[in-house]
């Protein structure tokens, strides 16, 4: 028998009965990406999720904090857009160095597979190897790298 009320509303959450039936509380609404199962912990008072899934979070309070949070442009919760762009530039340089090694006969190992990074320009002649090496030697290192 389901404990769901007859009139369904958008704010309805499953109820947990704890302490031998003496305490009734809302169940955390967070779901696992991997298994699809719902969290079994009680939600925090006045919240839809438990403290493990962000129930303690109050969000940015000051105007500066709100601006910084909006300007972060995080992707997948871990990397900023600037960090992803820097990573792509480094990978394109490495891919070009790999091209140069093949042209000069320095390696016979299999080429790197996968998608090409943004900004990658293939190196196919000794002349383009020379220009690539001059370009790398004259450019400043990327910001944040020493």
Percent of the chain with pLDDT over 90: 4
Tokens 């009320």 appear where?
5
Task: Look at residue 131 in the predicted model and tell me its pLDDT.
Answer: 84
Q: What is the pLDDT of residue 137?
A: 65
How much is the pLDDT for 95?
92
Q: Write phi, then psi, for 127 (nearest 5 degrees).
A: -65, -45
pLDDT category at 32 given cuts 50, 70, 90 is confident
**Residue 74, in any domain of the structure:** no
| Domain count of the fold of the chain | 2
pTM here? 0.42
Please give the residue range of the domain that contains residue 46: 15-52
In angstroms, what is the C-alpha Rg of the chain? 27
Whether 102 is covered by a domain: the verdict is yes
Check pLDDT > 80 for residue 54. Answer: no
Q: Is residue 63 part of a domain?
A: no
- Between 4 and 118, the more confident residue is 118
Give residue 139's pLDDT.
Answer: 63
State the average pLDDT over residues 66-78. Answer: 68
pLDDT at 67: 79
Chain length of the chain:
146
Whether residues 48 and 85 fall in one domain: no
Higher-pLDDT residue of 140, 108 = 108
């Amino acid at each position: 028998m389901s404990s769901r009320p007859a009139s369904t509303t958008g704010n309805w959450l499953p109820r947990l009965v704890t302490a031998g039936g003496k305490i009734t509380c809302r169940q955390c609404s967070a779901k696992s990406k991997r298994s699809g199962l719902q969290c079994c912990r009680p939600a925090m008072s006045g919240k839809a999720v438990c403290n493990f899934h962000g129930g303690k979070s109050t969000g940015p309070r000051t105007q500066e904090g709100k601006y910084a949070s909006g300007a972060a442009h995080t992707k997948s919760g871990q990397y900023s857009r600037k960090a992803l762009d820097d990573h792509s530039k480094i990978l394109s340089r490495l891919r070009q160095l790999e091209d140069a090694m093949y042209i000069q006969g320095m390696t016979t190992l299999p080429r790197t597979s996968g998608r090409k990074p943004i900004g990658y320009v293939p190196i196919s002649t000794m002349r383009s190897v020379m220009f690539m090496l001059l370009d790398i030697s004259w450019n400043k290192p990327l910001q944040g790298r020493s």
